[in-house]
Each structure stands twice: as C-alpha cells, then as structure tokens.
C-alpha cells in the first residue's frame, strides 16, 4: 500500500529546481504586456480618462477603459462594474483602465501616465458607519444553509441560567496574499480562447469566461498546472483574468497581466471584517444551556456582488446544547467584494465561540478542556443528525498529553519563566467535510506507465501525489510508473480546489477509474491467457508490479497494451457524493494547544510551543498532510497576532497594501509545532474515509492564542489581531 | 566602481524628484508635451549560471524581469516586486540578493546564479534534496528563493542553532507556512553542530 506512506511529493523535484511552471511563465509568441489602472476614489463616477500622454509613450498598443472596452454578456455574472462595463465606482482600487504595451516596462510607465478624473460621491468605507443598514444575506452559504437558526428557546434559557457570558468579538479585514500574485496570459484564435491563469478552479474559470464572451464552453481552454498558493483568493474568476482576455482580443495578440502585490489588495477579495455577539449560558457544572451567536460581516455594494461570512455555522453543531440561536447579517459598504479565505466562516466564528468558551471556563473556575469535554456532542445539536465520524475526544486527549496540559495552573500570570510570563491556552477546531461530483480518467500506456488525468488543481496541497498514490495501489504499479495530469480544462471535469474537498472529491473518481481499468486489463489478459492459467477467472488474477499475475504465469501491462495495437487502454469514472451522507453531519475536528511567552513590560507576545491534534479522517499522504497542518497553524498565528488590512476611512484606500506593512508570519515567528493525526475515517461521506485538511488546522488557532494571552496576562483580547498596544492596559 | 552603481531605489527616487520638479515648474506645459523619451533598450551581456546571455535591457529593467521575461529561467519568482518577500532571491557573485531590487544593467561583469544553476545535471544540490526530503514547500512558489537564501545562509555561517537559522531565513516569506520544514532541511544539510555544508 502506497496510500498512507510518507513519501516525497511527486511535484517536489520540479519545485526545488525551479522548473515548475506557473501561470505567468508560459510564453506564447508575440506576447504583449498589460498593467491595470485602479480607481483612487471609493464612490462616484469616472468623469473622463485622458489617455493622450500615455498612448504616446513608447511601445503602447492600446489603452482600454469603459469608453472603448467591448461589451460583455453580463447575464448571470456575479461581478459587474469592475469589468470596464460602466462608469460607476463602487470601491477604491476598482479597475478603471488597462494599458497594453510591447514590454512590461513600457506598460508600467504608460499606466502611470493615465489621468483619470472622477465625480466623487460620498462613500461609506467602514462597516461601523453603516451598522443600521445591516441586511439579511441574499445568498447565504450558496444556499446550503439558512442565515438564521433557532433550536429550543435560547432567550428563555439565558434568563434562567446560573452563569452567563456575553461578549462582542471583532475580526479585521485580512488578505490572502499567496506568494504568487494573480496572473493571466490570454490568447485568442478566432473565437477560441486559451488562458493560462492562476486559479483554484479551472472549470469555474472556463464557464465564467465562456459566458462573459458569449462563446461555447468548449471554446475556452484554461491551463494551470501549478498554483502559487490561493487560500481562497484564486477560487473565483476575478476581473483581472477577464480583463486580460478582453485586452488580448483588443490587440489581437497574446497578452499577459500580472496583478501587482499592491493591486492584490483590491483585485481578488479578502476576508471580511466581522463583529460577532456571543452569549453563552451554563449551569454551575458547566453544562451549556444556551448559545446565541449573532454575526455581522461587511460586504461590497450589491452592484459588485455579495459575500456573507458564515461565522455561526460551527456554533450550531459543535457542542451539546439544547438551545442554540444564530444569525448572519451583512453590511454593504464601498469596499471590494469579500470572498472565501482559508477556513471561511470557521476561522472568524470559532475565534469568537472558543474565546467565549474560555471566558465561561474562567467564570465557572473550571479547566477549559474539562468544559469542552462536559459539552461533548454525539450528534449535531441543530440538525439532530449523527456525526458521520468524530474523533474529537481523542484529539483532546492526545493533544493534551503531548502538550502537558495538566501542568497548567488556573490563575492568570501564575506561570513564569524568570521574568517572562507564560500562558497556555487551548481551543477546538472543526471544519465541515465537503465533497462534490468529480471525474477522472486513467490510461495504461504501451510503455507500462499509467497516466492519471483529472481537471483538478494542485494548490500545494499534494493533489499530484495523492492521485498517483491511489491509482498506484489499485493498479499494482510503483509510483515512478504513474504520471498525473491536472490543471487543464480539457481533462475530465473536477471541482474547484476549495472547501477542503479536493481529496474527498477527486480521489474516489480516480479510484473508481482505476478499478475499471484493472477490470479491463483482466479482460484483456483473459482474452489470450497464458497456457498455465487454464480456466482461470478474473478472481484468480491480481495486478502487481506492472503485470497481471495469474496462477503460474503473468502478462505484463506492456504486452497487454502493445498486443492490442492501441495507443492506450483507458477507463474513466464520474463519481457523485453518496446520498447516504445527507443523513449525517460530516465534519473534521481538532484540538489546538498553544503556549505563549509575554514580556511583562513590553507586552510582546511570542508563540513558543504548539501541539495540534486533528481528526482529519484517513490520511492518504502523511508528509504533505502534516505540511498542511503546520501551514494552517502558521496561518492562524498570523491571524492571531499580525494580520490586519487597514483602510483609510476618508478615502477607502488600503493603507498597508504591501507585504511589508501587511504583516504575515516569517520563519522566526513560528515555534516548534507538533502535529498528531487522529484518524477517524469518514466512510459515509467520502467512501475512502478521508476528510478535509486544508482549512481545519487554522480554525481555533486565534482563540487558543487569545486564551493563552489571557492566561499569561489576565487581559482578554476580543479584537484581532492581538497587538502589544492592546495589552498595554 | 561598486558604490557608484545606481540601485533601482535611487533611480526611482531620482525619477520622483524630477517629476516633482517638473510639476512645480510647469504643470500645464507638462501635460501638453509628449513624455520625456526613455533610454532605448540596448544589448547587454549578462552571465547567468555560467552562460553568457544577450539581453535587451532598458536602464529601468530589473534583473528579475530580465530573467523572467527574456530567458527561460522562470524559476526566479516575482512575489512582491518590492524587496519584501524574498521570492526573487538569486546569488550575485555568491551573495544572496533580491533580483527585484537589482537593475539588470548593473549585473554586467558579475556572476549570477539562479535556482536553475544549483543542481549538477540531474543530481540535486544537497539543499534541494533536503527541501524535497523534509517537504520544505507546499505551493512551491517561494521555494527557489528559500533555497537560494538557504545555500547562502550556510556560507554566511548563520546556522549555529535552529533559532539562528529561522532568524536569518526570515527575509523569505512562505505563505503556506512550511517554515519548520525549511529549518529542518537546512539543519540536515549543515549537521547538528551547524558546521557542515
């Protein structure tokens, strides 16, 4: 079995030698370069754009504005005005022109000479200024959940409870900042479009572009063999990809557009600012009687679209509690459209819930871990459905043991190392197990190698590796004889790489295709069996090491394919999620344990130790899975202590739109991290037993750190990020 | 002379000063006039990974853009183009340098090494092999810069402890968060006492 073995990622060699090719690194002949010009006001209209000086610059081919841009088919499009289709401005940083020149330097220089005049209107740039305008989301959670929920009577239970905690938690705007900025190369051949683009969803990009340009889906080819990180901001076909295709059509040659790091702050979504009210009620033993979680999140003006941060979903299912209420409201302001960012909903929502649980533990004077165990749920508290699998208790136990949680003393400031304050904190992690329809195809080639093909993406999560593993096991091939093709819309379709569902969606399709290919190889072998096989049937055969092994003799795959005189033997599978999964509540779980060291005078916080134990179902590739767990925790450390996009209230402009002032964790910020796999396979939801890994490990990180900071200092921070100025009280 | 070489920052600074001057002098005249002509591209010989490459360089072209747009050496990555992320790290005369802050014309006569110049044919450089073994990457976009920094770091001798390695690798951002694996990879190359490598 290669599944479950710790192997080097199959695309690793290409990555360490610099040969992995990302979207901006393809070179169609005669390619021109494009640079975006962005709005400097947050609301109003474009009064006019003077392109005279810019157009006269050397090498400039064309400058597109809403005055001369082609009209797109906007029926069904979710993002409207930023595609140069009108003069209205809805946020600072909206794209208002695109400059196309022969070289990148020429395009950059000319873009700086484009003069835009505005008729500015009064903008609402901060959600706090428009809270009275909060509204019910129109399309909450893509229709898979209701914005409000109510089980039992939370209000009544609050009134009569012995102990109550009530607090407001806020989380800031955060930006994904993958290391690879968005980039697209577009090339038209008549009404056929090829785009190389940095995307988490080639299928979605293909559909969106085909619809906008009014061409059949088959006319659009999207290619993306490597993605330099996404974290959600490459999940949607954002305006720059479309604008590049418009530019390429306009100048009738291939065009490349690399969004700059500064423009990444206004071109492709962000994690919305949230204001969350949390109320918990419990009896004296810590048994939860009521949870009320009300979330407000910012969104863009409706003309641009809507995104509702689903902060309360985890509160509906995580703890055993008879009375639970949740609500979600959005506040539309003059900012760009928010989007999914690693663990959307849960990352922000569980900061609030798991901070509030810690506050409740303090109020009750019980150990925070014991409080979680006292409210351990065996079924989803809102839907009432049983969990398809749940290894959370083991996560708590193994994580606590590895961390040495029992050495914690209860009182804040009671643990020290010399003068340095030590704090320890914990929090629960949870993220839903998602799965979508997916298809795959496997070809046995005449040289005895298998080519596994699916139109999925590898965003660094190890998809190349896991697809090869599962096929190799079924086909009895060593890994070096399996090749994976993905990241091309001409391959069998697969879902976008988001919602931690790639493994759960794509691997069952690969497995099913592999089983069918195995059957085909059996049939081919039995059509002209070696004499020694006699009357052997399929059940007497097995695949191993590139041969069909039967009683006393074998036939190699190479012989099987070559004697058929075909280019390859192929099997394909199209797999849908099992209906049985609808009867269950399906989630991955985890327990986070943090130690922080706080300087008693300067109040600097350093995360000094981490243990995370995760039930992410069956683990296919332990090495890459562990990397995802570590990476999620690091992402969470950024959320807890550093990350915040600052907006100037007057202009709606992002003040720290660069990766020096928008702080993300660097190597020296990260402690020793111990990760523990608690494998509770989810056979109901995914068949293979896998759950998602990508988002789970960052859930609860911010709360665990906030709880540890309280334990070190006695100061409760309810507003992320936890900066030293908030601790100097 | 080394000190008289213009850095990109100095050039941009000069440009900004000139713009400010012309704005003050004659705003109206400026908007009427065609833009001041930029120096046309000229051919320059740049030595990369032991080979002389002929590049068409404008004075404002960075080494990063010259490599990515004019050669097949796309392993050097553009992460921020502002010297803040380290993805574009290359070696110039053996020292780690941010190629996005280096004007390409400044590199004439110097020895540039990129990630593509590290391996010996099919044999990986020990640092590349260690990154692979320890999974010091996920998406792989920052990886060439991390490895170029790591190779230089070993030469610099900043490897006495894991904390020292982490500190001196902090100019290279990895948003996927592979940091502990990166430290482990470097640790393997230099050995437990930090001396090897």
Does B162 map to a domain? yes
Cβ proximity of A346 and A293 under 8 Å:
no
Cβ proximity of A476 and A542 under 8 Å:
yes
ipTM: 0.97
Cβ proximity of B69 and A25 under 8 Å:
no
Query: How far apart are the C-alpha atoms of A622 and A636, rounded to whole Å?
Result: 21
Indicate which of B29, B38, B100, B135 best probes the interface with A, i.e. most A CBs within 10 Å of its own CB: B135
B104/B150 same-domain check: no
Q: Are strands A672-677 and B42-48 parallel, antiparallel or unpaired?
A: unpaired
Residue where one domain finishes, among candidates B113, B134, B164: B113
B106/B133 same-domain check: no
**Three-state SS letters, A405-463:** HHHCCCCCCCEEECCEEEEEEEEEEEEECCCCCEEEEEEECCCCCEEEECECCCCCCCH
Backbone torsions φ then ψ of A450, nearest 5 degrees: -105, 135
B58/B101 same-domain check: yes
Q: Which domain holds residue B54?
A: 42-113
Indicate which of A18, A182, A627, A659 best probes the interface with B, i.e. most B CBs within 10 Å of its own CB: A18
* Interface check B95 vs A, CB under 8 A: no
pLDDT (average), residues B61-86: 97
Cβ proximity of A674 and A611 under 8 Å:
yes
Does B18 map to a domain? no
Q: Note the maximum CA span of chain B.
A: 67
**How many other CB atoms are there within 10 angstroms of residue B27's CB atom?**
9
CB contact set of A191 (below 8 Å; sequence gap of 6+): A215, A219
Q: A138: distance to nearest CA of chain B, Å?
A: 33
Cβ proximity of A662 and B160 under 8 Å:
no
Cβ proximity of A490 and A506 under 8 Å:
no
3-state secondary structure of B191: coil
Rounded alpha-carbon distances, angstroms, from residue B144 to A328, A352, B47, B80 = 43, 38, 19, 15
* Interface check B73 vs A, CB under 8 A: yes
List the structure tokens of B3: 């000190």
Does B10 map to a domain? no
Residue A687, pLDDT score: 84
Q: Which residue of A has its CA nearest to B12?
A: A109
Residue A479, pLDDT score: 96
**How many other CB atoms are there within 10 angstroms of residue A105's CB atom?**
23
Question: Is the CB of A659 less than 8 angstroms away from the CB of B173?
Answer: yes
A659 vs B65, B85, B131: nearest CB: B85
Domains, chain A, ranges and CATH? 23-122+179-229+234-267 (3.30.365.10), 140-173+270-434+583-727 (3.30.365.10), 438-576 (3.30.365.10)
Question: Is the CB of B175 less than 8 angstroms away from the CB of A226?
Answer: no
pLDDT (average), residues B2-29: 42
B46/B108 same-domain check: yes
Residue A165: beta bridge partners?
A: A280
How many structural domains comprise chain B? 2
* Interface check A451 vs B, CB under 8 A: no
Percentage of residues of chain B with pLDDT beyond 90? 76
Q: Residue B21 pLDDT > 50, yes or no?
A: no
Cβ proximity of B126 and B114 under 8 Å:
no
Residue B6, pLDDT score: 46
Question: Is the CB of B180 less than 8 angstroms away from the CB of A181?
Answer: no
DSSP A630-691: HHHHHHHHHHHHT----B-TTT--BTT-STTTS----GGG--EEEEEE----BHHHHSSBB-
Rounded alpha-carbon distances, angstroms, from residue A542 to A246, A404, A515, A526 = 53, 48, 12, 12
Residue B27, pLDDT score: 40
Residue A89: beta bridge partners?
A: A44
Cβ proximity of B182 and B131 under 8 Å:
yes
Does B132 map to a domain? yes
* Interface check A25 vs B, CB under 8 A: yes
List the structure tokens of A110: 């000319």
Residue A582, pLDDT score: 86
Catalytic residues of A: 695
Rounded alpha-carbon distances, angstroms, from residue A546 to A187, A441, A450, A516, A606 = 41, 18, 10, 16, 52
A303-324 confidence digits (pLDDT tens)? 999 999 999 999 999 999 999 9
B93/B66 same-domain check: yes
B143/B180 same-domain check: yes
B107/B83 same-domain check: yes
Cβ proximity of A227 and A24 under 8 Å:
no
A113 vs B35, B142, B169: nearest CB: B35
Residue where one domain finishes, among candidates B81, B113, B145: B113
For chain A, residues with pLDDT lower than 70 are 78-81
Does B1 map to a domain? no
pLDDT band at B33 (very low <50, low <70, confident <90, very high): very low
pTM, two decimals, is 0.95
Q: B2: distance to nearest CA of chain A, Å?
A: 25
Q: Note the maximum CA span of chain A.
A: 87
Cβ proximity of A343 and A311 under 8 Å:
no
Question: Is the CB of A658 less than 8 angstroms away from the CB of B84?
Answer: yes
Q: What strands lie across the sheet with A553-556, from one edge to the other?
A: A542-544, A547-550, A553-556
Does B95 map to a domain? yes
Does B79 map to a domain? yes
B81-133 confidence digits (pLDDT tens)? 999 999 999 999 999 999 999 999 999 999 999 999 999 999 999 999 999 99
Question: Is the CB of A25 less than 8 angstroms away from the CB of B144?
Answer: no
Q: A672: distance to nearest CA of chain B, Å?
A: 7
Q: Residue B53 pLDDT > 80, yes or no?
A: yes
Whichever domain contains B98, its CATH number is 3.10.20.30
Residue B41, pLDDT score: 80
B46/B103 same-domain check: yes
List the structure tokens of A536: 């052997």
Per DSSP, B98 falls in state E
Question: Is the CB of B183 less than 8 angstroms away from the CB of A667?
Answer: yes
Cβ proximity of A623 and A8 under 8 Å:
yes
* Interface check A18 vs B, CB under 8 A: yes
pLDDT band at B38 (very low <50, low <70, confident <90, very high): low
Does B34 map to a domain? no
* Interface check A379 vs B, CB under 8 A: no
Residue where one domain finishes, among candidates B58, B88, B113: B113
Question: Is the CB of B180 less than 8 angstroms away from the CB of A659?
Answer: no
Q: For residue A68, give the H/E element and its range.
A: none
Indicate which of A5, A110, A667 best probes the interface with B, i.e. most B CBs within 10 Å of its own CB: A667
Cβ proximity of A720 and A644 under 8 Å:
yes
Residue B24, pLDDT score: 38
Residue A77, pLDDT score: 74
Q: For residue A482, give the H/E element and its range.
A: strand A482-485
Query: How far apart are the C-alpha atoms of A569 and A448, rounded to whole Å?
Result: 10
DSSP A594-628: EEEEE-TTT--EEEEEEEEEEE-BS-S-HHHHHHH
**Three-state SS letters, A264-277:** HHHHCCCECCEEEE
């Amino acid at each position: 079995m290669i599944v479950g073995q710790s192997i080097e990622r199959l695309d690793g060699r290409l990555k360490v030698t610099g040969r992995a090719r990302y979207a901006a690194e393809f070179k169609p002949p005669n390619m021109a370069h494009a640079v975006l010009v962005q709005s400097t006001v947050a609301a109003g209209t474009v009064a006019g754009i003077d392109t005279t000086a810019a157009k006269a610059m050397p090498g400039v081919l064309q400058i597109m504005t809403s005055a001369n841009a082609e009209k797109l088919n906007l029926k069904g499009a979710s993002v409207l005005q930023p595609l140069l289709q009108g003069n209205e401005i809805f946020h600072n940083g909206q794209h208002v022109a695109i400059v196309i020149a022969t070289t990148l330097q020429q395009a950059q220089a000319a873009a700086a000479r484009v003069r835009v005049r505005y008729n500015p209107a009064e903008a609402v740039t901060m959600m706090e200024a428009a809270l009275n305008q909060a509204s019910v989301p129109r399309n909450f959670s893509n229709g898979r959940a209701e914005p409000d929920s109510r089980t039992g009577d939370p209000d009544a239970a609050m009134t009569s409870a012995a102990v109550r905690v009530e607090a407001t938690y806020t989380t800031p705007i955060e930006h994904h900042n993958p290391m690879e900025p968005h980039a697209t190369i577009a090339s038209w051949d008549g009404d056929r479009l090829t785009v190389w683009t940095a995307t988490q969803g080639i299928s979605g990009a293909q559909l969106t572009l085909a619809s906008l340009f009014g061409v059949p889906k088959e006319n659009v080819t999207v290619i993306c063999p490597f993605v330099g990180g996404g974290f959600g901001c490459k999940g949607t076909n954002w305006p720059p990809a479309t604008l590049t295709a418009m530019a390429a059509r306009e100048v009738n040659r291939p065009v490349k557009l690399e969004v700059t790091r500064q423009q990444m702050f206004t071109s492709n979504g962000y994690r919305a600012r949230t204001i969350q009210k949390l109320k918990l009620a419990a009896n004296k033993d810590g048994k939860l009687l009521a949870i009320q979680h009300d979330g407000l999140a910012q969104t863009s003006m409706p003309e641009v679209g809507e995104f509702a941060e689903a902060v309360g979903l985890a509160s509906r299912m995580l703890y055993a509690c008879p009375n639970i209420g949740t609500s979600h409201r959005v506040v539309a302001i003059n900012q760009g459209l928010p989007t999914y960012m690693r663990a959307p909903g849960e990352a922000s929502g569980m900061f609030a819930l798991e901070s509030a649980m810690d506050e409740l533990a303090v109020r009750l004077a019980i150990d925070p871990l014991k409080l979680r165990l006292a409210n351990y749920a065996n079924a989803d508290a809102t839907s009432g459905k049983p969990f398809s699998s749940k290894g959370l208790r083991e996560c708590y136990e193994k994580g606590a043991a590895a961390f040495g949680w029992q050495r914690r003393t209860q009182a804040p400031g009671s643990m020290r190392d010399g003068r340095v304050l030590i704090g320890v904190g914990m929090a629960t992690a949870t993220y839903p197990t998602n799965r979508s329809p997916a298809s795959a195809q496997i070809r046995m080639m005449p040289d005895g190698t298998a080519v596994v093909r699916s139109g999925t993406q590898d965003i660094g999560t190890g998809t190349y590796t896991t697809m090869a593993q599962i096929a190799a096991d079924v086909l009895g091939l060593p890994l070096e004889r399996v090749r994976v093709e993905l990241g091309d819309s001409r391959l069998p379709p697969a879902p976008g790489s988001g919602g931690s569902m790639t493994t759960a969606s794509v691997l069952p399709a690969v497995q099913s295709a592999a089983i069918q290919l195995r059957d085909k190889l059996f049939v081919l072998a039995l059509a002209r069996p070696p004499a020694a096989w006699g009357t052997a049937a399929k059940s007497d055969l097995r695949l191993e090491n590139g041969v069909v092994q039967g009683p006393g003799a074998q036939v190699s795959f190479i012989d099987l394919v070559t004697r058929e005189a075909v280019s390859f033997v192929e099997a394909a599978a199209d797999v849908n999620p099992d209906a049985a999964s609808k009867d269950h509540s399906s989630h991955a779980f985890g327990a986070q344990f943090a130690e922080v060291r706080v300087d008693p005078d300067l109040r600097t916080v350093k995360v000094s130790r981490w243990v995370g134990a995760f039930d992410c179902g069956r683990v296919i590739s332990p090495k890459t899975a562990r990397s995802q767990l570590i990476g999620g925790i690091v992402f969470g450390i950024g959320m807890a202590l550093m990350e915040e996009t600052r907006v100037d209230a007057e202009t709606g402009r992002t003040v720290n739109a660069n990766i020096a002032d928008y702080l993300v964790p660097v190597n020296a910020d990260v402690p020793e991290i111990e990760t523990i796999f608690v494998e509770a396979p989810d056979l109901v939801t995914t068949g293979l037993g896998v759950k998602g890994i990508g988002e789970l490990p960052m859930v609860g990180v911010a709360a665990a750190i906030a709880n540890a900071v309280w334990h070190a200092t006695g100061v409760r921070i309810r507003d992320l990020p936890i900066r030293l100025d908030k601790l100097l009280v | 002379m080394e000190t008289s070489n213009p850095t990109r920052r100095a050039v941009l600074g000069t440009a900004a000063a000139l713009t400010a001057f012309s704005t003050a002098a004659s705003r109206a005249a400026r908007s009427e006039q065609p833009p001041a002509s930029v120096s046309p591209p000229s051919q320059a010989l740049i030595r990369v990974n032991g080979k002389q490459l002929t590049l068409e360089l404008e004075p404002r072209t960075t080494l990063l853009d010259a490599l990515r747009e004019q050669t097949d050496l796309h392993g050097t990555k553009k992460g921020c183009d502002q010297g803040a992320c380290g993805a574009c790290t290359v070696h110039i005369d053996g020292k780690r340098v941010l190629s996005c802050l280096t004007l390409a014309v400044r590199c004439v006569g110097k020895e540039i090494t990129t990630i593509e110049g590290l391996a010996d044919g099919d044999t990986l450089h020990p640092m590349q092999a260690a990154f692979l073994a320890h999974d010091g990457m996920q998406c792989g976009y920052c990886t060439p810069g991390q490895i170029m920094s790591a190779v230089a770091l070993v030469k610099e001798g900043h490897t006495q402890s894991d904390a020292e390695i982490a500190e001196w690798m902090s100019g290279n951002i990895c948003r996927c968060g592979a940091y502990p694996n990166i430290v482990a990879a470097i640790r393997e190359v230099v050995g437990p006492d930090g001396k090897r490598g």
